[in-house]
């Protein structure tokens, strides 16, 4: 069947487009009626997909195509092979009773994932602070003013002589607001940071039960499929190939980073003692963002509001245009939206155009925060690229969704640098999709091995730190002055100050993910998190908190979060060996596009990586592949174990 060409799979491609569009609608549409319909459509189409994935007529056709040897290209062979594996990972080879159970578990898992995300939106957590004077003025625009009645005491008799409305503030402990409060709320007797940290890391409580069910359902699914754990089920088709290889890699990284992370912890603790006195010297988790920001500012004379003044959102979008023009000789053109095409007035649409090749794809930008919207930043593939006929190519369509807030005295967002880094990260995913030129949609863009998928996005984070890149678009919002090189050098210096602590945190997250979906941990998950935090980080766990209740990477990246660390190593190597010397050259971009990005998942990931920068980027280990960590160690000045 595959030998007849990609048009044979038109029906499957249409199903994928419906699912992807419904997911974007569900996460971004402001009209609840649209969201509810998108949820219904997603459920119905997922159920239909489970039917297709257990259809023996289709399965037998794929087997026949793979075995007969009539397929004309390597990509056709590869797509037949992976389609067969997809069928088998859906349980088609099992008894009818087991297939039915697999289908019911798959539907249940999808519903649990939706519920987990919806609970995060419904219950972000709140903390009420009285009086209002306990919150610094620079945070007021993030907070909701509230009032309460209080008794007014007579000075003469010390008896109540009436009531008055006392003003306070309500902190909504969504991740963005919580981050700002933890960084900006000073020490006081009311311990605002402590209250915000505990609340923000204790909601939504309902997700503890959802997570327990998700772990149990995934474990049962994996065991029916013949695997010891969901981690084994997830990791096996990827470069790592087994949880044992993943854990060995994570342990190597943990040992490598521990001395530097411990040293950073001591510096933060000593700084707190210097500021507060020995009696307040214990370092708490809610102290980290506050004191590290203060230390960075002190050491490098940094003011986050000054940094943000060079990153008004329109200029940052210009930065994306600079990247594609310099690296790929292409341009973004704004194009009007058709009636009913946009889901919100803030949405922009651009075409990526090449002077010789024509349009390469389409990008929607939905960058401002609003109530009910997907709470983080993400890349949504709406339509994958594929050959429709010998002369026609279906262009990829993607959406880049973020949650930037307008400045309190402006209608335009000014991004903190970490927000710019996030924008460039997601843009790396978008470019992977837009520049993909695979024959089959099955391999389009980010449809690659899980432990390769984050490499382009991590690579493009480097571009957000390089002065040669920043000076092309980072302009002061009022004066138009280009960002000073000295300021960028200070930002880079501050970035390095606690890099080991951040790397250790990512290792900790990956170990949690592997443990939850390993050979059936014993709930409660909070106990597992507490034990692993003591084992893998320098920081204490706060009893009663359950940070994992809104760690939504456990959904899409269940047992695959390690891929971020694989990507971090791959990106460091690619940057140093290919991009660092001249990051904006057409030569660099051509190599990235022709040797890596355009192939999506149509080639073996190890061959793509080696073809781009040479054999040293990864190595064989215990039946799997692990990244070489030398370039990352060099960048972070860490000693290899």
Q: Which is nearest to 453 in space by CA: 424, 425, 474?
A: 425
- Residue 614 burial (CB count, 10 A): 11
- Residue 163 burial (CB count, 10 A): 11
**Per-position DSSP letters for 18-59, written without gaps between them:** HHHHHHHHHHH-S-HHHHHHHHHHHHHHHHHHHHHHT-HHHH
- Which of the 8 DSSP states describes residue 285? G
* Cα dihedral 460, 462, 468, 474 in deg (nearest 10): 70
The CA-atom distances, in angstroms, between 444 and each of 24, 59, 397 are 18, 22, 11
Run of H or E including 618:
strand 618-621
228, 474 in Cβ contact below 8 A?
no
* Cα dihedral 320, 323, 328, 334 in deg (nearest 10): 30
- Residue 541 burial (CB count, 10 A): 18
**φ and ψ of 483, to 5 deg:** -60, 130
Q: Which is nearest to 254 in space by CA: 537, 483, 12?
A: 537
- Which of the 8 DSSP states describes residue 228? S
What is the 3-state secondary structure of 351-371?
Answer: EEEECCCEEEEEEEEEEECCC
Q: What's the token pair of residue 568?
A: 């971090």
Active-site hit among 23, 426, 454, 548: 426
β-pair partners for 313: none
CB proximity list for 125: less than 8 A, separation 6 or greater: 172, 173, 174, 199, 200, 202, 203, 204
- Residue 48 burial (CB count, 10 A): 13
β-pair partners for 534: none
How far, in Å, CA of 220 to CA of 562, rounded?
Answer: 22
Q: ∠ CA 490-586-592 to the nearest 5 degrees?
A: 85
- Which of the 8 DSSP states describes residue 483? P
- Which of the 8 DSSP states describes residue 278? G
Question: Can 88 be counted among the known catalytic residues?
Answer: no
User: Reduced to 3 states, what is the DSSP secondary structure of residue 589?
Assistant: helix
How far, in Å, CA of 199 to CA of 286, rounded?
Answer: 11
Q: What's the token pair of residue 516?
A: 């939850």
Run of H or E including 167:
strand 160-172
Q: Which position has the token pair 């972070």? A: 636
Q: What's the token pair of residue 389?
A: 């006929």
Catalytic residues, by residue number, are: 426
């Amino acid at each position: 069947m595959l030998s007849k060409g990609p048009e044979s799979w038109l029906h499957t491609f249409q199903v994928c487009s419906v699912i992807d569009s419904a997911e974007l609608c569900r996460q971004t549409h402001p009209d609840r009626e649209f969201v509810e319909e998108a949820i219904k459509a997603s459920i119905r189409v997922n159920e239909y997909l489970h039917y297709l994935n257990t259809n023996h007529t289709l399965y037998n056709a794929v087997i026949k195509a793979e075995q007969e040897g009539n397929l004309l290209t390597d990509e056709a062979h590869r797509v037949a092979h992976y389609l067969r594996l997809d069928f088998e990972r859906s349980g088609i080879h099992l008894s009818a009773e087991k297939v039915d159970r697999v289908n019911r578990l798959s539907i249940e898992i999808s519903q649990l994932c939706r519920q987990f995300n919806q609970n995060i939106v419904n219950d972000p957590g709140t903390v009420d602070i009285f009086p209002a004077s306990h919150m610094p003025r620079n945070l007021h625009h993030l907070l909701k003013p509230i009032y309460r009645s209080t008794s007014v005491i007579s000075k003469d008799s010390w008896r109540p002589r009436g009531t008055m409305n006392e003003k306070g503030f309500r902190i909504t402990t969504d991740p963005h607001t919580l981050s700002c409060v933890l960084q900006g709320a000073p020490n006081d007797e009311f311990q605002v940071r402590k209250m915000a940290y505990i609340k923000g890391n204790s909601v939504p409580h309902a997700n503890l039960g959802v997570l327990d069910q998700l772990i149990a359902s995934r474990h049962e699914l994996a065991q029916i499929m013949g695997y010891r754990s969901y981690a084994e089920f997830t990791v096996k088709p990827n470069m790592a190939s087994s949880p044992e290889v993943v854990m060995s890699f994570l342990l190597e990284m943990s040992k490598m980073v521990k001395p530097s992370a411990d040293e950073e912890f001591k510096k933060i603790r000593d700084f707190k003692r210097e500021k507060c006195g020995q009696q307040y010297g214990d370092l708490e988790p809610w102290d980290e963002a506050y004191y590290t920001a203060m230390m960075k500012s002190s050491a490098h004379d940094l003011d986050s509001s000054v940094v943000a003044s060079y990153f008004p959102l329109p200029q940052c979008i210009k930065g994306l245009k600079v990247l594609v023009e310099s690296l790929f000789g292409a341009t973004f053109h704004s194009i009007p939206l058709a009636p009913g095409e946009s889901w919100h007035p803030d949405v922009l649409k651009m075409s990526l155009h090449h002077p010789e090749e024509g349009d390469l794809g389409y990008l929607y930008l939905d960058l401002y925060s609003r109530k009910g919207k997907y709470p983080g930043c993400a890349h949504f593939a709406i339509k994958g690229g594929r050959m429709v006929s010998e002369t026609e190519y279906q262009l990829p369509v993607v959406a880049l969704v973020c949650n930037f807030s307008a400045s309190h005295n402006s209608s335009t967002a000014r991004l903190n640098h970490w927000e710019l880094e996030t924008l460039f990260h997601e843009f790396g995913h978008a470019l992977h999709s837009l520049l993909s030129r695979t024959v089959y949609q099955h391999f389009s863009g980010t449809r690659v091995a899980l432990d390769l998928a984050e490499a382009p996005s991590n690579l493009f984070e480097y571009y957000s730190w390089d002065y040669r890149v920043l000076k092309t678009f980072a302009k002061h919002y009022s004066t138009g002055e280009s960002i000073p090189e000295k300021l960028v050098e200070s930002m880079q210096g501050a970035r390095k100050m606690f890099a080991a602590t951040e790397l250790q945190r990512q290792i900790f997250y990956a170990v949690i993910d592997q443990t939850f979906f390993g050979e059936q941990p014993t709930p409660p998950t909070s106990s597992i998190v507490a034990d692993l935090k003591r084992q893998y980080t320098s920081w204490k766990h706060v009893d009663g908190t359950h940070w994992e209740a809104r760690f939504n990477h456990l959904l899409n990246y269940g047992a695959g979060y390690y891929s971020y660390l694989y990507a971090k190593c791959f990106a460091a190597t690619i940057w140093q060996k290919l991009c660092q010397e001249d990051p904006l050259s057409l030569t660099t971009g051509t190599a990235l596009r022709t040797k890596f990005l355009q192939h999506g998942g149509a080639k073996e990931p190890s061959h793509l990586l080696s073809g781009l920068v040479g054999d040293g980027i990864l190595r064989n280990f215990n039946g799997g592949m692990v990244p070489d960590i030398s370039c990352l160690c060099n960048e972070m000045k860490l000693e290899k174990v």
